[in-house]
Copies of this chain bind each other. A is one copy, B any other.
Amino acid sequence: MKPTESEMEILQVLWNKGQCSVREVFEALNKKDVGYTTILKLMQIMHEKEMVTRDTSSKTHIYTANINKEKTQNQFLNKMIDTVYNGSTSRLVMQALGNHKTSKEEIDLIKDYLNQLETK
């Protein structure tokens, strides 16, 4: 049900690009030390689990994500809030905002979002 870490990386590519062959995913991931057939195998397993669908009409199969991006992200997020932040969303958020990687633009986006939340 819940994707593994490797599966998540693959889903990431599929969500971004929409449709991909194994090779496209393999190249997008660009992992050293991981061979082509490893990615292939993972995607076959994901197909068995029905996390992805595929079009096998031509030799090169074309894969598409078959689970919802937002729902899946939320699943990870909630798990993380529980096991890493002891259930506190605000602590996660504040740490995320405080970790220097956040640009001014991103912070502005979040302010807008908070204001929206407020007026509702």
Task: Choose the segment among A38-46, A49-57, A74-82 that binds chain B (4+ C-beta atoms closer than 8 Å).
Answer: A74-82
Inside 8 A of A114's CB, which chain B residues have their CB? Answer: 97, 107, 110-111, 114
A8 CA to B89 CA in the complex, in Å?
A: 17
A97 and B106 within 8 A (CB):
no
A12 CA to B86 CA in the complex, in Å?
A: 7
Min Cβ gap A70→B in Å is: 7
Q: Would you list which residues of chain A between 87 and 120 have a CB under 8 Å from chain B?
A: 88-90, 92-99, 101-102, 106-107, 109-111, 113-114, 117-118
Q: Would you list which residues of chain A between 6 and 57 have a CB under 8 Å from chain B?
A: 8-9, 12, 16
Min Cβ gap A39→B in Å is: 15
